[in-house]
């Protein structure tokens, strides 16, 4: 056992040396792997004590106690450690944005109001420094969403922002990373904006509410018209007459109007949420709500229409001055208790590693532990129709797993091993390398 571990460490070392620099090897083993003597949190049943997970051809081949280890399998002795499904961050701009303040590195948001044809996977940079950094916190897959705002992008200004892609956080090319290129269509629901920052005068401009409301109604109508147009287009496409002109944008809306692709609608205020849900209900479109800062105000509607909600970080400030100070922290349990499916999202890149922390804080405010854990694993997978492949430790699923020394939602927990598609994947990253470099700086002379 020890020898195998040494071999493994040796392999890590060799590959670390080989792969020094930006193109560092992300994966370095192939073949069967057995994780043994672990406490396994399958999220599909009670935890398994002293359990084994066998991985074959990238998938979980067997899970349980006392399972035979296939001959030749690499064994990871996880005595004293715990196995969980890798965490799933359902809203990021991963690979689409490197440095928020530098426009040249940001590919999150196209110009124009309607961009259903643009696809996140196209612009995902596999060698982005964010990917290994995020991975080190136990996140194995994410949704990369265009026009989704965030700390690292320039904000969202499209009505239809483009297609979000589901990706593994490992791979030499976008193709190797892809789980589902066309995971959802991003819509940034308009807001009633009475205030805007005017750069020419460096001041905040106020707009009368009635004007802002008019603008809002206009945008919602534009969106409705667009969906209507897309529906007609899809119909016409079935039997295109002579002179029928193809349109890449409307064509990209096809899966949406056919109800095959969900809309990932960003809406936070109660009115936006209400209008977005009613819109989708009327138009018979699938919806995943993202943001949901005031979802609690519309919980009856959300429950009755079975709308899943991806919540913004709980560690934020409530929107209203007279909201309870812990409004965002207690909301997850309030929604769950009302029968609404929730997930947590980072809505960001550089703060993606706080995903678990956000879930933990909601748990500290009433959300049952296992529900909190599922809200960063199984539930996001379900929302994007990926739960047959991801989200739990079950036979037949893709082996995206983490082996930890404790609760993966806790801020002090170390991710000891991480597997993506059944491959042991490095948790080294740029930050760790810089740490090691400067840790060994000789003491400065003075």
Task: Identify residues 252-281 at the interface with another protein (CB under 8 A).
Answer: 266-269, 271-272
Q: Work out whether 127 is an interface residue with another protein (CB under 8 A).
A: no
Rounded Cα distance, 306 and 303, in Å: 5
Q: Work out whether 22 is an interface residue with another protein (CB under 8 A).
A: no
CB of residue 48 to another protein, shortest distance in Å: 24
Q: Work out whether 104 is an interface residue with another protein (CB under 8 A).
A: no
- Of the pair 20, 364, the CB lying nearest another protein is at 364
CB of residue 209 to another protein, shortest distance in Å: 4
- Of the pair 32, 294, the CB lying nearest another protein is at 294
Residue selected from 162, 262, 291, 308 as contacting another protein according to rule CB under 8 A: 291
CB of residue 28 to another protein, shortest distance in Å: 24
Rounded Cα distance, 76 and 38, in Å: 9
Pairing type for strands 139-144 and 87-92 reads parallel
In the region spanning residues 189 to 228, those forming contacts with another protein, defined by CB under 8 A, are 191-195, 197, 199-200, 202-204, 206, 208-210, 212-213
- Of the pair 140, 293, the CB lying nearest another protein is at 293
Give me the torsion for CA of 231, 267, 381, 33, rounded to 10°: 130
CB of residue 100 to another protein, shortest distance in Å: 4
Within 10 Å of residue 99's Cβ, how many Cβ atoms?
A: 14
Rounded to 10 deg, the angle between the 270-283 and 209-238 helix axes is 20
Radius of gyration of the chain (CA): 23
CB of residue 309 to another protein, shortest distance in Å: 14
Residue selected from 135, 231, 312, 421 as contacting another protein according to rule CB under 8 A: 312
- Of the pair 114, 351, the CB lying nearest another protein is at 351
Rounded Cα distance, 49 and 412, in Å: 23
As given in the structure block, the two tokens for residue 110 are 């196209």
Contact 380, 310 (CB under 8 A): yes
In the region spanning residues 325 to 384, those forming contacts with another protein, defined by CB under 8 A, are 325-326, 347-351, 353-354, 356-357, 360-361, 363-365
Rounded Cα distance, 256 and 159, in Å: 14
**Upper half-sphere CA count for residue 181 (Cβ side, 13 Å):** 11
CB of residue 445 to another protein, shortest distance in Å: 9
CB of residue 289 to another protein, shortest distance in Å: 12
- Of the pair 90, 291, the CB lying nearest another protein is at 291
Q: Work out whether 304 is an interface residue with another protein (CB under 8 A).
A: no
CB of residue 187 to another protein, shortest distance in Å: 13
User: DSSP secondary structure string, 143-208?
Assistant: EE-TT---TTS-----SEEEEEEEEES--SSHHHHEEEEEEEEEEE------EEEETTTTEEEE--
Q: Work out whether 25 is an interface residue with another protein (CB under 8 A).
A: no
Rounded to 10 deg, the angle between the 327-337 and 355-363 helix axes is 70
In the region spanning residues 408 to 427, those forming contacts with another protein, defined by CB under 8 A, are 409-414
Q: Work out whether 443 is an interface residue with another protein (CB under 8 A).
A: yes
Residue selected from 315, 387, 394, 416 as contacting another protein according to rule CB under 8 A: 315
Q: Work out whether 109 is an interface residue with another protein (CB under 8 A).
A: no
Q: Work out whether 98 is an interface residue with another protein (CB under 8 A).
A: yes
CB of residue 250 to another protein, shortest distance in Å: 28
- Residues in contact with another protein, total (CB under 8 A)? 80
Residue 35 three-state SS: strand
Query: CA 2: distance to chain centroid?
Result: 36
Within 10 Å of residue 413's Cβ, how many Cβ atoms?
A: 18
Rounded Cα distance, 138 and 403, in Å: 9
Rounded Cα distance, 76 and 70, in Å: 13
In the region spanning residues 53 to 82, those forming contacts with another protein, defined by CB under 8 A, are none
- Of the pair 281, 414, the CB lying nearest another protein is at 414
Rounded Cα distance, 383 and 385, in Å: 6
Find the part of the chain contacting another protein (CB under 8 A) among 22-30, 188-196, 376-384, 418-426. Answer: 188-196
> By C-alpha distance, which of 98, 75, 60 is closest to 3?
75
Q: Work out whether 244 is an interface residue with another protein (CB under 8 A).
A: no
């Amino acid at each position: 056992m020890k020898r195998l571990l040494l071999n493994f460490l040796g392999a890590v070392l060799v590959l670390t040396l080989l792969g020094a620099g930006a193109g560092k090897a992300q994966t370095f083993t192939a073949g069967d792997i057995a994780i043994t003597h672990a406490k396994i949190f399958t999220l599909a049943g009670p935890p398994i004590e002293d359990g084994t997970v066998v991985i074959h051809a990238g998938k979980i081949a067997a899970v349980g106690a006392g399972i035979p280890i296939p001959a030749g399998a690499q064994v990871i002795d996880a005595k004293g450690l715990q196995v969980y499904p890798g965490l799933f961050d359902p809203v990021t701009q991963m690979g689409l944005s490197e440095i928020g303040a530098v426009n040249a590195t940001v590919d999150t948001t196209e110009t124009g109001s309607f961009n259903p044809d643009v696809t996140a996977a196209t612009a995902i940079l596999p060698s982005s420094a964010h990917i290994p950094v995020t991975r080190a916190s136990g996140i194995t897959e994410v949704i990369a969403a265009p026009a989704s705002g965030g700390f690292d992008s320039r904000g969202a200004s499209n009505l239809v922002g483009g297609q979000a892609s589901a990706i593994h956080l490992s791979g030499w090319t976008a193709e190797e990373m892809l789980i589902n290129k066309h995971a959802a269509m991003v819509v940034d629901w308009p807001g009633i904006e009475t205030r805007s920052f005017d750069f020419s005068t460096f001041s905040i401009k106020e707009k009368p509410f009635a004007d802002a409301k008019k603008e809002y109604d206009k945008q919602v109508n534009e969106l409705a018209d667009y969906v209507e147009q897309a529906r007609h287009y899809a119909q016409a496409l079935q039997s295109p007459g002579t002179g029928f002109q193809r349109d890449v944008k409307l064509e990209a809306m096809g899966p949406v109007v056919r109800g095959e692709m969900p809309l990932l609608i960003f809406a936070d205020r109660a009115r936006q949420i209400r209008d977005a849900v009613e819109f989708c209900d009327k138009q018979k479109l699938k919806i995943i709500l993202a943001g949901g800062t005031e979802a609690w105000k519309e919980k009856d509607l959300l429950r009755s229409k079975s709308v899943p909600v991806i919540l913004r970080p709980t560690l934020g400030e409530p929107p209203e001055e007279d909201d309870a100070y812990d409004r965002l922290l207690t909301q997850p349990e309030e929604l769950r208790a009302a029968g609404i499916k929730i997930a947590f999202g980072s809505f960001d890149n550089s703060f993606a590693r706080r995903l678990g922390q956000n879930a933990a804080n909601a748990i500290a405010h009433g959300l049952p532990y296992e529900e909190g854990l599922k809200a960063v694993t199984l539930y996001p997978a379900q929302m994007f129709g990926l739960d047959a492949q991801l989200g739990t430790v079950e036979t037949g699923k893709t082996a995206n797993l983490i082996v930890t020394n404790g609760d993966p939602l806790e801020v002090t927990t170390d991710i000891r091993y991480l597997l993506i598609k059944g491959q042991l994947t490095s948790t080294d990253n740029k930050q760790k390398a810089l740490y090691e470099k400067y840790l060994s700086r000789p003491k400065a002379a003075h």
